[in-house]
Structure formats: C-alpha cells, structure tokens
Amino acid sequence: MPNESYLTECLEKFYELPDIFILELNHPKNLQILDNISDRYGLELSFVVILLAINELDYLNLEEYLAKRFSLDNQTAKKIADELKNLYLQPIVDRLNFLSADQNKTKPTQEEEKAIITDLFKEKLLVELSDYQPTINAINQRIFAWLDREIEAKKKIENALLQNQETISTISLNLSNEELPGTVGNWLRCFATEKGIDNFSSLSISEFLGTSKNTVNLKNSERALLKNIL
C-alpha cells in the first residue's frame, strides 16, 4: 500500500488536472463502470486510475503494475488491465478527444465529430443537458465549430432534434387533432405549430409554456425541462 505522503502528493497532482478531465474520470456513470470492475475482482482500483491520470503510471505498463501491486497471476492481471482500458479508460479518452477544442487534433475527425453531435441531438440530448456545466460548455464549442464550418449543419441538427424520441412529459400532446407521446421531437413540432418555427424567443417560449392547452397539465419538472429544450 502506498504511504500517506505519496497518496497525498498524487491526489494533489490529480486535482491540478483540467476540470473537464476530473469531471469525466469522476462522472457517476464512469465511476460505476470502475466500481463494477473493482467488485468483480475484489480490488480497489481508484488509485490506479489516479496514477494513470497524472502519468505516474505508464498506460503500457498497466498489466505489469497490477500483477505486482495486487500479487496477481499474469492472466488475471491482463484481464483486469484489458477491462480497465476497454470499458473505463478508452471511452473517457474518446470523450475527452471529442470535447477538446484543439484545432490540430486528429481524433475524432470532423466527420466523426459531426456524427457524434448528430447522435447527441437525436438520442442523448436530455442526458447531455443534465451534465456538468464545463462539459456542456465544451460540447457547445464543438457544436458552434460545426455550425461555423458547414452551412448545412443547422438543418442537420434540426432534423436530428425532430427525430428525438426521448421523453419530456408523461402526458401526451395534441397536435393537429392527433394524440402524440411527449417526446422532444413532438414538443418541438408542437411549439413550431403554435408559435412558428423561427420564433424561439424568451417571450414566445414563456407564452407557449403558460397558455398552450398542451402545457397546462405538465408537472413543474417537465415544464422546466421543456423550457430548457426550447
């Protein structure tokens, strides 16, 4: 077990990392993956991740380190290293690469980045809206970078939003005399029908939320979520 002074030194270095790094490494969904691996093998792996994050441990030497640190046979050490890399670390690396504003980055490519953003608006919008503010800011930068590069980006994002089947409300809404589920796409269609597609102002949104027959029975939490979407 590392001594206390070394632990403290490593933790201090860890919390000097950029906020976006720390938030992703400590994100609840990622920590759950790390906990699952730890529980599967009966090991505490959090400090291993810290060592990797501050470059105190070389990624290529992870298997060897695990074998020595926890007195494991090579086969077990390799299995744990592979799971850490494939299930926990690589998805975070991919996410951080996407969030990076470095104009010289090679991964993801611009085409891959466009696909990630399109998928976000089509299937993961509610998840991303509930994320940490630094992460939301970084995502917004990637969106605006695409909008600046490509004239068709706005239309592609709009189409993805209209296809979004994530649920905003438990109640259905009436659109052109048809009862539809309260999804992101349907609520956007409802707003466009009642207020106009180019009328996304604070005043029109407030009017829609306060006077539309479709919003009258929304829960407060659903109303707040719909406001954020609009």
pLDDT in 10s for each residue of the chain, 230 residues: 567 899 999 999 999 999 999 999 999 999 999 999 999 999 999 999 999 999 999 999 999 999 999 999 999 999 999 999 999 999 999 999 999 999 899 999 999 999 999 999 999 999 999 999 999 999 999 999 999 999 999 999 999 999 999 999 999 999 888 999 999 999 999 999 988 877 778 889 999 999 999 999 999 999 999 999 98
Q: For residue 108, give the DSSP letter.
A: S
Q: For 201-216, b where at least 16 C-beta lie within 10 A, e where not — what string?
A: eeebbeebbeebebbe
pTM of the model: 0.88
DSSP H or E stretch at residue 145: helix 133-149
The bridge status of strand 178-183 relative to strand 167-175 is antiparallel
97's CB contacts (< 8 A; 6+ apart) are 105, 107, 108
186 exposed, middle or buried (CB, 10 Å; 0-12, 13-18, 19+)? buried
